[in-house]
Structure 1
Amino acid sequence: MDVKSTAVITGWFLLSIFQVCICGRTFYHRVESLDNREVTESASNTHTRIPSVGQCARLCRQQDCVYLRHDGDVCSLYNVLVTASSSPAPGAVYYRNTCPTGLGYVFAESINICFKVSPASELKDWEESLNACYAEDGRLVALDTDARHNYIKNYIIEVAGIGTSSVWVGLNKTTTSGPFRWLTGSTHTTKWDSVEPDYVSYQNCVYLYYKDLVDTECDSRKRYVCELVLQ
């Protein structure tokens, strides 16, 4: 292998390390849109004399933070979702925990999904649910594989204590005849409820009822499941 090829491979390897910080079993992905900018939220904790992003990430993992900012030797930890302000902050580098359990998300390692079921007190229509997920940089959950469908179904029944209540998922149609599509673009569905979907013109949104999928009016108010897309 010539010197030029070696340099290219080495550069790619170093870039990969810089873009993704792994601390224990927690992954932090670089949020380049926030780099060199201030954020509107205040840090929950700030540590000085922290020379590396890796050390900052270890502190973040210990405190179950959502975002970290590393600037020189200053490590700032945030326990909320952050947004950029118009103020510059040269040298600031931001990472986000890919599955912020501190915000109520659950990481299902077997299917590599990070999700959260909304509380019983928070009932929204389908579009409101979608926007609530977007506000946390996520989306309504896509059950576009058998493994995803079965895992979320079992979690809702056995862990979340929802029982036979229904939750919005990220599946809808934009025309009377369909097709129903997940927010991923996929049309795969594991199991519809009996006689569903019936393609009634005004039943354009889908919820998960106990084990199966049901289409209904989008303005019904239900709990919902968000997911954060893991990079």
Structure 2
Amino acid sequence: MIMLITPFLFFQAVFSMNSVVSRHVYARLIPLDNLRASETPSSINPSESMPDCTTVCAWDEACVAVMHHGDQCSIYRSSLSPSSVSLPGARCFIKQGALPHPDPCPVSQGYTSVLSPRMCYKLHMTMLSWTDSQARCESEGGRLIILNTDEKHAYILTQVAPYLATHIGLKVDGGSKTWTDGSTYVPGISHSFTAECGYMYDLSTRGYYCYWGRPFLCEIPV
């Protein structure tokens, strides 16, 4: 294994059991040094070193980024953004070429770019009505998030605190639950709607009055 470390790049050559060589370049995410990532990892594995951590990522086609801290390696299917939670000694790297280039997800504006399921989303903690939330998402080139597949629904449930109660792009139209793109499939447990505007709470989809202020999830379709 050959390594070259610079302040910004981490190069690694990974050798498989049959001596086939695959090369991966990992860019260090300096803004995340000593911080926990805002995103939740898809898995956490024991790892003695950063090279071991990136080796795990190299063999995982869905892996986009890694965080090494202590003897643990966290694997992510998305880009990473820093949280305000201190994690001394943590180092994060992103696998170059894992996400599309150029990436249509505006990561610099706080969006997370997810490889699997392919999507980009952003959690807004500002309390707005459903209508104002949709308008804010549209001003960023997106919409309130549409979770009309099992894969997207399951992924978002791992990323957002279950009791946050976020607006999503679902409404009641003529007695039927309808996403703003016209689709009607609602994965997971769906509770009765008190009123017409959808939100997520405690792993379920619910509805309440549109004027009620909540945090909200935007997505930019990809």
Q: TM-score when scaled to structure 2?
A: 0.52
| Deviation for aligned residue 1:182 | 0.8
Equivalent position to 1:113, from 114, 119, 128? 119
Moved over 2 A (4+): none
Match of 1:111, SS state, is coil
Bigger radius of gyration among the two: 1
Question: Which residue identity lines up with residue 113 of structure 1 in the other structure?
Answer: M
Q: Report percent identity of matched pairs.
A: 27
Equivalent position to 1:98, from 99, 104, 120? 104
Report 1:174-193 matches (<5 A). 174-175=173-174, 178-193=175-190
Distance in 1 (CA, whole Å) between partners of 2:184 and 2:192 is 13
Distance in 1 (CA, whole Å) between partners of 2:202 and 2:107 is 25
| Deviation for aligned residue 1:97 | 4.5
Equivalent position to 2:213, from 202, 208, 221? 221
Distance in 2 (CA, whole Å) between partners of 1:132 and 1:190 is 25
Deviations 1:31-54 (A, max 9, x none): xxxxxxxxxxxxxxxxxxxxxxxx
Give the corresponding residue for 1:211: 203
Match of 2:189, SS state, is coil
Report 1:56-95 matches (<5 A). none
Can you give the 5+ residue segments of structure 2 that lack an aligned partner in the other structure? Answer: 1-24, 26-101
Can you give the 5+ residue segments of structure 1 that lack an aligned partner in the other structure? Answer: 1-23, 25-95, 158-162
More strand as a share of residues? 2
Number of residue equivalences = 125
Give the corresponding residue for 2:154: 150
Q: Does 1:140 align with 2:144?
A: yes
More helix as a share of residues? 1
